């Protein structure tokens, strides 16, 4: 009889433990869902805004009332892809984003590598300070700083004038916009590359060199492939922000090297054509999303092929 009672007590305890575990798991799921609610709310607001943009993009502006039509039409998209003005700006934005991404990664990688690998604490602190200092200066302020440096009466032209050269027109053109964006995006790229480089064991580089590989071969066949996730992440972020930038083309382009964001602003506020502005926005979102998906698809395929090898 005592054995039966003891067995029953054990069974009750096991059932109670199961109930407690299930309750704890349920509370954990509820807590996780509560933490997800702000993120889901933000995604919902963005999706709702994008849906409104798509809806407005399919409505033509009535020039008599300056109100959007009630019926849907592809007029705005036809106008975008049939006029050279919009196509030129679209291609300029795409080319500018590609150039900014390439130059930024080219400059950011050695900076991040030196910051991570240097054994001098003072140099590392200097590089970190130089990296974070631009974040305390807004993009518009930096753009106007370039006006002071590159203007016809600026520092560079004054320096060249001392040697009887210039003045040269260094502002209000496409290269000046690219220069300003590279300077603006460089800290972001370094911050994204640094963790990828930190994760690479220095002993791997030492082993490569001990087996006879020079620095260049070690970099190309070891460091660069292992840092590829950081390069992809930095490239996507730099490309996306550069593609959608407004301030640098507006200030340093001087109205001669506009990007898509400048056209969108003009459509909404100068032309009062929210339908056209929405269509331009949708085209820009689709372009950025397509590039984003293509890069990650190629990166994922590369990782899968490396895994098979």
Q: How many CB atoms lie within 10 A of CB 291?
A: 19
**How far is it, in rounded angstroms, from Cα 142 to Cα 239?**
19
Question: Per-residue pLDDT for the chain (309 aa), expressed as one digit of tens each?
Answer: 554 555 555 555 545 545 565 666 667 677 777 778 888 888 899 899 889 999 999 988 888 787 888 888 999 999 999 999 999 999 999 999 999 999 999 999 999 999 988 888 888 888 888 888 888 888 888 888 888 888 888 888 888 888 888 788 888 899 999 999 999 999 999 999 999 998 888 888 888 888 887 888 888 888 888 888 889 889 999 999 999 999 999 999 888 888 999 999 999 998 888 899 999 999 999 998 898 888 878 776 665 455 444
Please give the Cα distance from 31 to 180 (Å, whole number).
Answer: 45
User: Contact, 198 vs 116, CB < 8 A?
Assistant: yes
Strand pairing partners for 67?
62
Q: At what angle do helices 84-117 and 228-243 cross, to 10 degrees?
A: 140
Three-class secondary structure of residue 184 per DSSP: helix
Only one residue has tokens 């509560």, namely 34
Cα 79–Cα 287–Cα 194 angle in degrees, nearest 5: 150
Eight-state DSSP code of residue 72: -
Per-residue model confidence (pLDDT) at position 235: 92
Nearest to 219 by CA among 195, 200, 233: 200
Quick count: other Cβ atoms within 10 Å of Cβ 191? 17
Handedness of CA 271, 277, 278, 279 (dihedral sign): positive
Residue whose structure tokens are 């999303």: 289
- pLDDT score, position 308: 45
Beta strands 67-68 and 61-62 are antiparallel
Q: How far apart are CA 129 and CA 122, in angstroms?
A: 10
CB 143 within 8 A of CB 251: yes
At 12, list the tokens.
């009750």
Give the per-residue pLDDT at 110. 92
Give the C-alpha separation, 308 to 101, whole Å: 30
CB atoms within 10 A of CB 105: 21
Give pLDDT, residue 94. Answer: 93
How far is Cα 291 from Cα 136, in angstroms, rounded to an integer?
Answer: 30
pLDDT in the model for residue 301: 65
3-state helix/strand/coil string of 83-120:
CHHHHHHHHHHHHHHHHHHHHHHHHHHHHHHHHHHCCC
Quick one: tokens of 266?
């003009």
- Alpha-carbon distance of 49 to 72, in angstroms, equals 18
Are 294 and 301 a contacting pair, CB within 8 Å? no
Structure tokens at 144: 């106007």
pLDDT score at 309: 45
Domain 82-308 fold: MetI-like fold (1.10.3720)
Note the pLDDT of residue 176: 92
Give dist(CA 284, CA 111) in Å, integer. Answer: 31
Q: Which two tokens stand for residue 33?
A: 């869902």
What pLDDT is recorded for position 131? 86
């Amino acid at each position: 009889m005592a054995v039966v009672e003891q067995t029953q007590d054990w069974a009750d305890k096991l059932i109670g433990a199961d109930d407690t575990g299930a309750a704890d798991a349920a509370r954990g799921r509820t807590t996780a869902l509560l933490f997800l609610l702000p993120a889901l709310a933000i995604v919902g607001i963005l999706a709702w805004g994008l849906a409104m943009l798509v809806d407005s993009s399919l409505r033509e502006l009535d020039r008599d009332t300056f109100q959007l039509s009630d019926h849907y039409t592809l007029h705005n998209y036809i106008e975008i892809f049939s006029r050279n003005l919009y196509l030129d700006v679209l291609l300029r934005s795409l080319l500018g984003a590609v150039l900014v991404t390439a130059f930024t990664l080219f400059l950011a990688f050695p900076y991040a590598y030196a910051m991570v690998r240097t054994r001098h604490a003072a140099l590392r602190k200097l590089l970190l300070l130089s990296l974070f200092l631009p974040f305390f200066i807004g993009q518009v302020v930096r753009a106007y700083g370039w006006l002071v440096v590159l203007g016809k009466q600026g520092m560079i032209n004054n320096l060249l004038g001392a040697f009887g050269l210039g003045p040269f027109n260094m502002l209000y053109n496409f290269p000046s916009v690219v220069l300003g964006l590279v300077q603006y995006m460089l800290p972001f790229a370094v911050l994204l590359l640094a963790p990828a480089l930190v994760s690479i064991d220095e002993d791997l580089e030492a082993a490569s060199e001990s087996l006879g590989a020079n620095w260049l071969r070690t970099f190309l066949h070891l460091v660069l492939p292992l840092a590829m996730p950081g390069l992809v992440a930095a490239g996507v972020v730099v490309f996306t922000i550069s593609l959608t930038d407004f301030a640098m083309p507006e200030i340093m382009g001087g109205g001669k090297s506009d990007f898509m964001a400048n056209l969108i602003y003009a459509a909404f506020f100068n032309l009062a054509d929210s339908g056209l502005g929405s269509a331009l926005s949708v085209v820009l979102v689709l372009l950025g999303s397509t590039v984003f998906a293509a890069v990650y698809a190629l990166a994922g395929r590369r990782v899968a092929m490396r895994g098979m090898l």
